[in-house]
């Protein structure tokens, strides 16, 4: 089942199931997509507070960019589940001989790298959407301020959740240079909010 195309009821049932996916990474992407969608909605509502041409353009741009981020985060709901499924499959590889053990270990490292990149991408998109929030809150329709604030809350939760997934995967990776680089970027993305 493609998670991003499931009904809300089916998606929530999938999250409640005892299957390993979808999990927290997909939930983070979903929360981020909802948050960015709210910012796009607020930016596109009639009767904004923006009155100067530059502010009108800034608000319009924020709405377009927030919608694009929401769309990308939506696709990451499925990508995160697929990445984690790859980790599960790698751990199931045979390990009877030294060659099988080496192949399995390499496959696990590749899968964990992929499972790290996906939530890191979620973090990047959430940080981008959060950078658009001031325009929606300050220039959008005043009656929708709380909608934008809910969007910010969802994006912050998504950012934190994705960061937790990045960190848990880094603990099992052997490439120290990659681990350091990703930890630095994740810390920067968290600090930017």
Number of domains in the chain: 1
Structure tokens at 85: 């499924």
Q: Kindly report, residue by residue over 8-55, the tens digit of the pLDDT.
A: 999 999 999 999 889 999 999 999 999 999 999 999 999 999 889 999
Residue 143 has pLDDT above 90, yes or no: yes
- Cut 0.85: pTM above it: yes
Range of the domain at 154: 3-191
Give the up-direction half-sphere exposure of residue 117: CA atoms within 13 A in the CB hemisphere.
12
Residue 193 has pLDDT above 80, yes or no: no
User: What CATH code is carried by the domain that includes residue 38?
Assistant: 1.20.120.680
Per-residue pLDDT at 192: 82
CA separation for the pair 155, 137 (Å, rounded)? 14
- CA-based radius of gyration for the chain: 19
For residue 76, count other CB atoms closer than 10 A to its CB. 26
Q: Is 46 left (phi over 0), alpha (psi -120 to 50) or beta?
A: beta
């Amino acid at each position: 089942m493609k998670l991003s195309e499931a009904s809300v009821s089916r998606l929530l049932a999938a999250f409640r199931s005892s299957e390993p996916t979808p999990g927290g990474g997909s939930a983070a992407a979903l929360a981020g997509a909802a948050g960015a969608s709210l910012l796009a909605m607020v930016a596109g509502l009639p009767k904004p507070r923006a009155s100067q041409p530059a502010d009108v353009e800034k608000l319009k741009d924020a709405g377009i960019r927030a919608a694009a981020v929401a769309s990308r985060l939506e696709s990451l709901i499925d990508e995160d589940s697929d990445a984690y499924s790859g980790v599960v499959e790698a751990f199931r590889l045979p390990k009877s001989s030294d060659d099988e053990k080496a192949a399995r270990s390499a496959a696990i490292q590749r899968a964990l790298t992929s499972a790290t990149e996906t939530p890191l991408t979620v973090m990047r998109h959430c940080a981008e959407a959060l950078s658009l929030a001031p325009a929606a809150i300050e220039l959008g329709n005043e009656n929708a301020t709380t909608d934008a604030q809910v969007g910010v809350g969802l994006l912050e939760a998504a950012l934190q959740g994705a960061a937790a997934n990045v960190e848990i995967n880094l603990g099992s990776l052997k490439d120290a240079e990659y681990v350091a680089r990703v930890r630095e970027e994740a810390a920067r993305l968290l600090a930017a909010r």
